[in-house]
Amino acid sequence: MGGPGVTPYHLLSTLQEALGPDAVYTTDSGNGTFLAVECLRLDRPGLFLAPVDYSCMGYSVPAAIGAGLARPDGPVVALAGDGAFLMTGLELLTAAREGIPVQTYVLRDRELAQIAQFQETAYNRKASSQVADYDLEGLARGLGVPFLRVTDDEDVAGGVEEARERAAGGSPVLVEVAIDYSRKTYFTRGVVKTNFLRLPLRDRLRFLGRAVVRRVTE
């Protein structure tokens, strides 16, 4: 594991193993989305719901509720970043009221990780990309939704199984995952490289010079 917390691949592979080939996954915008694209192995259409351009934060929870209504006989998982969850997470109130057993996994790292990684790569600093801490357990309690917390890889199998059982009993469930984003996604690495190579040589040299200065002086 590259850092403290839950390895994304371990979480997603455990979810697939526990929930089977018919589970529907919904995502937001950010690292969690691209990690899901990299890690999930789905064998047919209709099992992965995401914003058209992968840029709409707040999509996953409402999409999961819709998927749960459309297909009530199978598991539905929302993968939401902790920033994206703040935008539409209160829709779980509807899921609780209507008995829609979506499993919402909040990937908690307390920042807008994809943006923060771009900033750190280019500027060696982060600006306005942190997410203020908030009490996810208290929010779940207020919404009347069962709450679970997963803090490391050893917790994953038990947490996923308990969430599955809660949902099988007809209740939505909210799972906080202390996610480890220390390893950049292929998307992040590819975008940085592609955008850099598209620059004229003069701009590339200037960009590299500034990056070196920041690394040395900051």
CB 27 within 8 Å of CB 15: no
The two structure tokens encoding residue 199: 């620059």
According to the model, what pLDDT value does residue 121 have? 64
The two structure tokens encoding residue 57: 């934060």
Please name the helix (run of DSSP H) or strand (run of DSSP E) that holds residue 173, with its range, or none: strand 173-178
Q: What is the pLDDT along the chain (218 residues), one digit of tens a residue?
A: 344 799 999 999 999 999 999 999 999 887 888 888 888 999 999 999 998 777 788 999 999 999 999 999 999 999 999 988 999 999 999 999 999 999 999 999 866 666 656 566 666 666 665 767 899 999 999 999 999 999 999 999 999 999 999 999 999 999 999 999 777 765 666 566 676 777 788 887 887 777 777 667 76
According to the model, what pLDDT value does residue 2 have? 40
Cα 66 from chain centre? 19
* Domain ranges, ordered by start, for the chain: 8-184
CA distance 163 to 76: 11
DSSP type of residue 184: P
CB 179 within 8 Å of CB 105: no
Residues 6+ apart with CB under 8 A from 112: 30, 81, 83, 129, 130, 131
How many Cβ atoms are within 10 Å of 87's Cβ, its own excluded? Answer: 18
CB 76 within 8 Å of CB 50: no
- CATH of 8-184 given 3.40.50.300, 3.30.390.10, 2.40.30.110, 3.40.50.970: 3.40.50.970
Q: How many helices and strands, by DSSP H and E, does the chain display? A: 10, 6
According to the model, what pLDDT value does residue 170 have? 95
According to the model, what pLDDT value does residue 150 have? 97
CA distance 46 to 178: 28
CA distance 95 to 153: 28
The two structure tokens encoding residue 127: 């600006």
Residues 6+ apart with CB under 8 A from 144: 93, 96
CB 109 within 8 Å of CB 179: yes
CA distance 78 to 95: 12
